[in-house]
Chain A
């Protein structure tokens, strides 16, 4: 396991973007009413967001999110040192989507840009990358932007009843600065034997639900416990455990294995479904309401098979918003 302790980061703000177009799992065709109700009961997912024709690219969502967040934080583009995009559904793969956005928005040539090709674990991997990089910059008030998300619905075959009711489109843009007064802790792991649990074949994503469940249950609780042990923190310390929103079966199994309360493990599955690497920041936007600074534990897991957890000290004054677009 790759355990990592970095100098601290401040998450200054998060803007999550969800398409206004809503698909309802109760309206799925090819399933009986009772099957649809059982599906919603077991996956926890009722509604999914699906992009319309006008904003089908993840780049457009990232750009809207960056513009909104910079305006809200009153950050100048010239002050951004690092821009990292985490996605598996770029509009085009070359050049890097972060470089495309750099050009489109007119960032400074001093802004470091690159992409990370990861799915559901991507937010935590991206946060670790930023955290490590920020501490190396020769600058006191270094700033970074992390963009996460996928247009997963473009990878779903119309008649695929195992992926279609699960995945949803969304993006999150996260503003981060360095904070030398605290530390951040990460546990980053991979089990490539699970590469066929979720993969792309031809134009479409394939998902083996049983294997995703097994890899998640085998790896995630241990990953979280090892992270807490490495950080020398008790499992009671984090104010919240924000898990990647995979589906209710997996998330509940992880929660029960770690003996966590439902109130400490918020969910956005019902209204937003599985939004890939945007799911953790989206859930934070929806549910973070601490009146005081507090520790929060993030855990992302999925395609790879890739697992990453982070223990981060969060301010209570974060700018958080969810925008329908």
Chain B
């Protein structure tokens, strides 16, 4: 299987660090994304759009509201993508 951000946590974290402009060594799956220094309504939208571009997965505002950590986002993308874990 090709390595995608929905089936490789390391790739997902690298992707997230790049999109949210956070050093890779300062980010972990257990981080609460709303607490990240660069999280904002604009950056959230950009992040969601980039996830869609990479995986074709769309995350709604209702789904996002139920999530807390980056790991939650990873699991949602994985469950909604064709390469579900």
A42 & B46 in contact (Cβ 8 Å cutoff): yes
Q: With A162-B41, A253-B52, A256-B53 in contact, do A214 and B60 touch (Cβ < 8 Å)? A: yes
> Which residue of chain A lies nearest to B43 when distances are taken between CB atoms in the complex?
A38
A210 & B64 in contact (Cβ 8 Å cutoff): yes
Chain A contacts of B58 at CB under 8 A? 213-214, 217-218
Q: Which of A250-289 contact B (CB under 8 A)?
A: 250, 253, 256
B27 within 8 A of A: no
B29 within 8 A of A: no
Interface of B is mostly: helix
Chain A contacts of B40 at CB under 8 A? 35
Interface of A is mostly: helix
B53 & A213 in contact (Cβ 8 Å cutoff): no
A293 within 8 A of B: no
> Which residue of chain B lies nearest to A208 when distances are taken between CB atoms in the complex?
B61
Chain A contacts of B1 at CB under 8 A? none
B59 within 8 A of A: yes
A78 within 8 A of B: no
Q: Which of B44-67 contact A (CB under 8 A)?
A: 44-46, 48-49, 52-53, 58-61, 64
A209 within 8 A of B: yes
Chain B contacts of A42 at CB under 8 A? 42, 45-46
Q: With A162-B41, A253-B52 in contact, do A211 and B61 touch (Cβ < 8 Å)? A: yes
Q: B61 is contacted by which of A39, A161, A210, A217 (Cβ under 8 Å)?
A: A210
Chain B contacts of A210 at CB under 8 A? 44-45, 48, 59-61, 64
CA distance A43 to B48 in the complex (A): 14
A-B contact number at CB 8 A: 47
B60 & A211 in contact (Cβ 8 Å cutoff): yes
CA distance A162 to B49 in the complex (A): 16
> Which residue of chain B lies nearest to A38 when distances are taken between CB atoms in the complex?
B42
CA distance A43 to B45 in the complex (A): 10
A253 & B42 in contact (Cβ 8 Å cutoff): no
Q: With A218-B58, A253-B53 in contact, do A213 and B48 touch (Cβ < 8 Å)? A: yes
Query: Chain B's nearest CB lies how many Å from the CB of A105?
Result: 42
CA distance A157 to B77 in the complex (A): 34
B49 & A213 in contact (Cβ 8 Å cutoff): yes
Chain B contacts of A217 at CB under 8 A? 52, 58
Interface string of A20-59 (1 = CB under 8 A from B): 0000000000000001001100110000000000000000
A213 & B42 in contact (Cβ 8 Å cutoff): no
Given contacts A214-B59, A217-B52, 19 further A-B contacts (CB under 8 A): A38-B42, A42-B42, A42-B46, A210-B48, A210-B61, A210-B64, A211-B60, A211-B61, A213-B45, A213-B48, A213-B49, A213-B52, A213-B58, A217-B58, A218-B58, A249-B45, A249-B46, A249-B49, A253-B52
Chain A: residues with CB nearer than 8 A to chain B? 35, 38-39, 42-43, 161-162, 208-211, 213-214, 217-218, 249-250, 253, 256
A-B contact pairs, 30 of them (CB 8 A): A35-B40, A38-B42, A42-B45, A42-B46, A162-B42, A208-B61, A209-B42, A209-B44, A209-B45, A210-B44, A210-B48, A210-B59, A210-B60, A210-B64, A211-B60, A211-B61, A213-B45, A213-B48, A213-B52, A213-B58, A214-B48, A214-B58, A214-B59, A214-B61, A217-B52, A218-B58, A249-B45, A249-B49, A253-B52, A253-B53
